[in-house]
Amino acid sequence: MGFKERLRDEIEYRGLLIKEVSAAVGISNSTFLSYIDARGVLPNVETAVKIAKYLGVTVEYLVDGEESEKEKTSAESEKIESGKSLLVNSYEKLSAHDKQILVKIASTMAK
């Protein structure tokens, strides 16, 4: 797996759109697409840093897939918190009946 695959995976994992990321880092959509399509163009260092910061990863991770133990722990904590937040937000949107069902399912799974 290379830069373009890891970049694409991070964007998908976070549920982002290409245009959101490209706008956030200040580059055109077509330039950003060149980083993740078959061309596999690598961004300059400044742009790579902006992309990595926006996605909450390191440039090193995007380039070679390696993370330090500190980064792994931090990333894992962030994923857990993100998952909790998603669950709470989803729960709040449910009807009272569906909330009861979900609580029963969660209780059963936790046993």
Top mean-pLDDT range of 38-42, 58-62, 75-79: 58-62
Q: Which residues of 34-65 are buried (b: 16+ CB within 10 A; e: fewer)?
A: bbbeeeeeebeeebbebbbebbebbbebbeee
In this prediction the pTM is: 0.59
Query: Hey, is 5 helix, strand or coil?
Result: helix
Dihedral of CA 74/75/77/78: which sign?
positive
Tens of pLDDT, residues 3-48: 889 999 999 988 889 999 999 999 999 999 999 888 778 999 999 9
Separation between Cα atoms, residue 40 and residue 23, nearest integer Å: 19
Predicted confidence at residue 67, as pLDDT, reads 63
Alpha carbon 16 to its chain centroid, in Å, reads 7
